[in-house]
Amino acid sequence: MKSIIPNALTALNLVLGVFAIISTLQQQFVYAAFFIVCAMIADGFDGRAARFFKVSSEFGKELDSLCDLVSFGVAPAILAYVFSLHELGYAGYGVAALFATCGALRLARFNVNTGIVKGYFMGLPIPAGGCVIATFILVGYKPEAWLFAVMVAIVGYLMVSTIRYPDFKGKGEKIRAIPAICTAVFAAFLLFTIKDATAWIFIPFIAYVLLGILNTLFSLFDTCTA
């Protein structure tokens, strides 16, 4: 019976992802973005609930991955396409499909590496990747379709890259001072630049993306100069 709670949270993640897709098809982009963010919150609690009740299982892990693919891979891809990528014709199809495919590969690699890679995430976690795309919609700025396509493709690449993203569990990947300061300055700049307080939710996601990139680059530099 205890397994019902974490599985219900996982199912809620899926439901919210479906709601995001439906909202997108109705041109309600803001609602779609918030549904994806709420799905991330549900996703964050299902694993904690499973560990709290000591009911972690392979079934739960597989269910979680399937739901994540819908909420953070497929839903953001459809949102990106309807929001802007459709202007590129078949190329827009490709970019949206690329993002969803990268999300699937990211989840597959995570499942295979569970218990092997500890202390950090190998590649941008798919919830963060999906939320970067979703919350960008809230900023209120619509770039040229090709530029938005580049952004979507880059986020997709980051999910399957070997860039190390901190898991903030107090061990593993060290967060270096300079990357942290640069990220904080960038976040502060966005905070003062973005006028709509609702759109501020975009800031922590894009800051996390930047932190992982800078931290990995400085780590490689330290290794080369050691």
Q: What is the spatial distance between Cα 19 and Cα 160, in angstroms, rounded to a whole number? A: 26
The superfamily in CATH containing domain 4-225 is CDP-alcohol phosphotransferase transmembrane (TM) domain (1.20.120.1760)
Instruction: Read off the pLDDT of residues 103-148 as tens digits, 9 standing for 90 and up.
Output: 999 999 988 876 555 678 899 999 999 999 999 999 988 999 999 9
Q: What is the spatial distance between Cα 15 and Cα 122, in angstroms, rounded to a whole number? A: 27
Both tokens assigned to 154: 């880059």
Judge residue 139's burial from the number of C-beta atoms within 10 Å of its C-beta, 0-12 exposed, 13-18 middle, 19 or more buried. buried
Residue 1: predicted pLDDT:
65
* Percentage, residues of the chain above pLDDT 70: 92
Q: What is the spatial distance between Cα 34 and Cα 55, in angstroms, rounded to a whole number? A: 29
The alpha carbon dihedral of 175, 154, 134, 182 has a sign of positive
* Percentage, residues of the chain above pLDDT 90: 66
Both tokens assigned to 91: 């190329």
Q: What is the spatial distance between Cα 128 and Cα 112, in angstroms, rounded to a whole number? A: 19
**What pTM, to 2 d.p., does this model score?**
0.92
Distance in angstroms between the alpha carbons of the first and the last residue of the chain:
54
Question: From the CB of residue 22, how many other CB atoms can be counted at a distance below 10 Å?
Answer: 15
Q: Hey, where are the domains in the chain?
A: 4-225
Q: What is the spatial distance between Cα 1 and Cα 114, in angstroms, rounded to a whole number? A: 26
Residue 67: predicted pLDDT:
96
Residue 120: partners with Cβ closer than 8 Å, 6 or more residues away: 164, 165, 166, 167, 172, 173
pLDDT at 223 over 70: no
Confidence band for 79, pLDDT divided at 50, 70 and 90 = very high
